[in-house]
Chain A
Amino acid sequence: MSTPVHQLVAFGVMVALLLLAPFFVYPVFLMKALCFALFACAFNLLIGYVGLLSFGHAVFLGGAGYGSAHAAKVWGFPPEAAILFGTLVAAALGVVIGALTIRSRGIYFANITLAFAQMIYFFSVQAKFTGGEDGIQSVPRGVFLGLLDLRRPLTMYFVVLAIFLLGFLIVYRAIHSPFGQVLKAIRENEPRATSLGYRAEHYKLIVFALSATLSGLAGATKAIVFQLASLTDVHWTMSGEVVLMTLLGGLGTVFGPVVGAFIMIGLENYLATLGAWVTIVQGVIFVVCVLIFRRGVVGELGRLLRRPL
């Protein structure tokens, strides 16, 4: 399958914007948005292409964050190794939780992943190495691959951008492959996919682990960027946030999660001084999206242009 032209164009526009953005916008904000964009893309892999709503994805973001922060701070790993280690932590969590949950469907799946996430959250509150309420603070950024000094914001930004694009392309590749076609077949009609000889649970477990791994990549990177791994990233409200980003951008669209993440992070940045209002606005967006805007921003755009984005 060749990549449709309009998606190439959209990808080009996105890359160009992201390359230029740090010269106009505060890089730390952009890095935060990029980490969440990758997180949302990884999440979308599950809900958008297999139809599984995981309500516990914060575990992979936060777990990987703890992993990479611990590796960088306590073990003195260089950043690339710390990020890799954090990602592997998330992958391991993904395989274990996935194996336990993947047999359930729909609402059960959402409920069970949520409960597992809460279990890991309480574990993080009590475990020694996570630092409890304080989290792991002042994680060193270090020098990436021995060449790029990450203490310089622009260097850090481009490394984060490279990681984001890597993750984005992995997701894209996974969706537009025979593997991705099988996933869609499972989403549309699981018994039929099974009857055609595909082991549906197998496929679902692989994609769950992949989604967890990429969420972990986002979380591990985020911990290095902000030099902090904290309970916020493991809490179930974070799982809710990534659902919202993906829903707002457009479930099952390639670029939707990225757009949704940038909108939500921008909004939070803007409303940060207003305290509880962030929650209220999030809730309103949820309700509006579910009631009248189910295709999301990119989904609606794609419909106007008559091309899937």
Chain B
Amino acid sequence: MGQLLIGLINGAFYAMLSLGLAVIFGLLNIINFAHGAQYMLGAFVAYFALQWTGLGYWWSLLLAPIVVGLFGIVLERTMLKRLYHLDHLYGLLLTFGVALIVQGVFRHEYGSSGLPYGIPSQLSGGYNLGFMFLPTYRAWVIVFSLAVCLATWYVIERTRLGSYLRAATENPALVQAFGINVPRMITLTYGFGVALAALAGVLAAPIYQVNPLMGADLIIVVFAVVVIGGLGSIMGSIVTGFALGVVEGLTKFFYPEASNTVIFVIMAIVLLFRPSGLFGRAT
């Protein structure tokens, strides 16, 4: 049961990160390689807020996505915007470069060891469920991220704003002809995806510590999750995120040697039978 819980926690992060990637990919057609770095930035914003201004966890939950989202918006306006007329690979390379810079700067300043970030007092402790001990904070992470994911899905699939977004994904020129400011929508979408990463970073801070490289390896796993789920599918990325977290947790219990590779093995199998992913559209 403990491994199942850890799996669900990891799954929550996979889901939130791959959701952000999917939202960004849907409209911008780029893989945001800086996603891991932005997740790390979210955790660092929470850390700085506590150290410098004394603002606690709850403020950071609000503040970090805004700050890092603004960073994303600036990035999109000043750099990514110039690459839309080129091959989408350049967008990937640019964000990769940005990730290297951000991670390099933080590693230079804070080294590779983690900085501690405490669990907020309201969420410390836990429940004894009889068959296992459930720490409150972990339960909170699962519930909260699930809520965020579902809210995002609702906005994109069920509201008018979301319908503009989906239409712009299909045919940006036509949507623009209807008088909708597509470039601004692209900017805000990128900002939103980045903000999701930062939010995941804040959630992760009390569990994994705040570390300059916390996003670097995680993001590769998330890429595999995205490949399995199929790029550009909102619900697909949420479901696969949680499911793969659980699979990984169970593997850790039954066959620990394979726990790091199981997601990649699943990816290989999925690719053999469904090259565009479980929920993806054919390309």
Interface residues of A (CB under 8 A from B): 51, 53, 100-101, 103-108, 110-112, 114-116, 118-119, 122-123, 125-126, 236, 240, 243, 247, 275-280, 282-287, 289-291, 294
B224 at the interface (CB under 8 A from A): yes
With A101-B271, A118-B264, A243-B93: A279-B103 Cβ-Cβ less than 8 Å: yes
CB distance from B219 to the nearest CB of A (A): 10
Interface residues of B (CB under 8 A from A): 25, 29-31, 79, 82-83, 86-90, 92-94, 96-105, 107-108, 220-221, 223-224, 226-227, 231, 257, 260-261, 264-265, 267-268, 271-272, 275, 283
The answer to whether A100 touches B271, judged by C-beta atoms less than 8 angstroms apart, is: yes
Residue numbers in B under 8 Å from A114 (CB-CB): 220, 223
Residue numbers in A under 8 Å from B220 (CB-CB): 114-115, 118, 236
The answer to whether B261 touches A123, judged by C-beta atoms less than 8 angstroms apart, is: yes
Bound CA span A280–B271, Å: 35
Bound CA span A157–B89, Å: 36
**Subset of 24 A-B contacts with CB under 8 Å:** A100-B268, A100-B271, A104-B275, A106-B88, A106-B89, A107-B25, A107-B31, A108-B227, A110-B31, A111-B31, A111-B227, A112-B227, A112-B271, A114-B220, A118-B220, A118-B221, A123-B261, A125-B260, A278-B104, A280-B105, A282-B104, A283-B97, A286-B93, A290-B93
Q: CB-nearest residue of chain A relative to B94?
A: A290
The answer to whether A111 touches B271, judged by C-beta atoms less than 8 angstroms apart, is: no
With A283-B104, A284-B101, A291-B79: A111-B94 Cβ-Cβ less than 8 Å: no
With A111-B31, A115-B264: A280-B224 Cβ-Cβ less than 8 Å: no
The answer to whether A240 touches B223, judged by C-beta atoms less than 8 angstroms apart, is: no
Residue numbers in B under 8 Å from A125 (CB-CB): 260
CB distance from B157 to the nearest CB of A (A): 23
Residue numbers in B under 8 Å from A243 (CB-CB): 93, 96
With A285-B97, A287-B98: A105-B83 Cβ-Cβ less than 8 Å: no
With A107-B30, A115-B224: A291-B82 Cβ-Cβ less than 8 Å: yes
CB distance from B210 to the nearest CB of A (A): 16
With A115-B220, A115-B224, A126-B257: A110-B89 Cβ-Cβ less than 8 Å: yes
CB distance from A208 to the nearest CB of B (A): 15
Bound CA span A101–B272, Å: 9
Residue numbers in A under 8 Å from B90 (CB-CB): 290, 294
Among A108, A122, A283, point to the contact of B101 (Cβ < 8 A).
A283
Residue numbers in A under 8 Å from B226 (CB-CB): 111
Given contacts A106-B89, A119-B268, 20 further A-B contacts (CB under 8 A): A100-B268, A106-B88, A107-B25, A107-B30, A108-B231, A110-B31, A114-B220, A115-B220, A116-B264, A118-B224, A119-B261, A119-B265, A119-B267, A279-B104, A280-B108, A287-B97, A289-B93, A290-B83, A290-B97, A294-B86
